[in-house]
Each structure stands twice: as C-alpha cells, then as structure tokens.
Amino acid sequence: MDVLHLSAFGEPAMVALGERLGAAMPEGVIFLEGDLGAGKTTLTRGLLRAFGHSGAVKSPTYTLVEPYQLGAARVFHFDLYRLGEPEELEYMGIRDYFDDQCLCIVEWPARGEGFLPMPDWQVKVGILREPGRAPGRSLTLAAHTDRGRQALHMLQTTGS
C-alpha cells in the first residue's frame, strides 16, 4: 500500500489541497475518515472545485448522498454518520452509484462496512498542532488500488 502524508493550515489551504486531490483522482472511490469537525467536508469542497463547482457544499448527513453533475463529471458525496445499519445502504441502491465513470466521496465509511467497494484512496484527516501556528490538518492518503496508486504517484511527482 502506497502512502502520502500531507498537511494544510487554514481553510483555504484545505480547500486547495482538495482541489489537488480532485485533479489527480477525477473518477473512483475516496474514503474520508476523521473525527467530527476534522475537515472532511471542507476537503470535499476542494475536491468538487477541481470539477468547477463554486457553490456551497453541505454534508449530506441527513440525506446520506448529495449528487453533483459538473459538466461531464458526476460526483456523489456520501455521509454515513447517521446510518443506523450498514444494510440500509442496500435498500437505497448504493451499488448503483459506484461505477468507473464517476467519483464517489464517502465520509464515515466504516459505518457502511460490507456494502461499499474497496476505495482507491483512504484519506485520514486529523488535527495538526505545531508550536506557534494555528491548528492545521494532517492527511494520510493511502492508495488501495492500481488507479489509486497511479493518482498518488501523480501527486508525488508533479505536485498537482
């Protein structure tokens, strides 16, 4: 498994980092993990900006999924925090969302264990504290598939 460690200080930096990630991974599955308030939805805002979205991005905590059609790109943003049982995903037709022609961003993926495909990227977001600086965010990005490894390599070699 290939791993990349990144950091961002401030919301604009987190959004810009999300844009970099979205440019590198235009299709596939990204799992976002981290505590409440860690910045998963802020990172998602950046991912969506990579496709030209400039509007607000809300966490689909109550609706489970927020779809975006951005030109030719289809993006589905899932938030499974309030999911009662993983089986509920089967009832909503979760498998219909995951295909090679779209990007699926999943917050709280552990709550859907057994009903979600393997992610191309698993991104763990944490609070980063450095002396003399406002708190930032640390991201650990792990690639689990060939597509994920290729996109990770692109991030490492081109910086984009």
CA distances from 59 to 36, 56, 63 (A): 11, 10, 9
Instruction: Report if residue 159 sits inside a domain.
Output: no
Single-letter amino acid, residue 6: L
Instruction: Report if residue 122 sits inside a domain.
Output: yes
Instruction: Report if residue 16 sits inside a domain.
Output: yes
Asked if pLDDT for residue 160 goes beyond 80, the answer is no
Instruction: Report if residue 74 sits inside a domain.
Output: yes
Look at the chain and report how many structural domains it folds into: 1
Asked if pLDDT for residue 17 goes beyond 60, the answer is yes
Asked whether the whole model's pTM tops 0.85, one would answer: yes
Q: Which of the pair, 122 or 93, is modelled with greater confidence? A: 122
> How does pLDDT run across 118-133, given as a tens digit for each residue?
999 999 999 988 888 8
Q: What is residue 59's predicted lDDT score, i.e. its pLDDT?
A: 81
Q: Which of the pair, 36 or 142, is modelled with greater confidence? A: 142
Rg (C-alpha) for the chain, rounded Å, is 15
Average pLDDT, the chain: 90
CA 103/CA 93 separation, integer angstroms: 16
Question: Where in the sequence is the domain holding 105, given as residue range(s)?
Answer: 2-154
Quick count: other Cβ atoms within 10 Å of Cβ 101? Answer: 8
Instruction: Report if residue 20 sits inside a domain.
Output: yes
Q: What is residue 22's predicted lDDT score, i.e. its pLDDT?
A: 92
Instruction: Report if residue 86 sits inside a domain.
Output: yes
Residues near 58 by beta carbon (within 8 Å), at least 6 away in sequence: 41, 66
- CATH number for the domain spanning 73: value is 3.40.50.300
Share of the chain above pLDDT 90, in %: 64
Instruction: Report if residue 46 sits inside a domain.
Output: yes
Asked if pLDDT for residue 16 goes beyond 70, the answer is yes
Q: What is residue 74's predicted lDDT score, i.e. its pLDDT?
A: 92
Torsion of CA 148, 152, 158, 160, to 10 degrees: 80
pLDDT band at 150 (very low <50, low <70, confident <90, very high): very high
Instruction: Report if residue 160 sits inside a domain.
Output: no
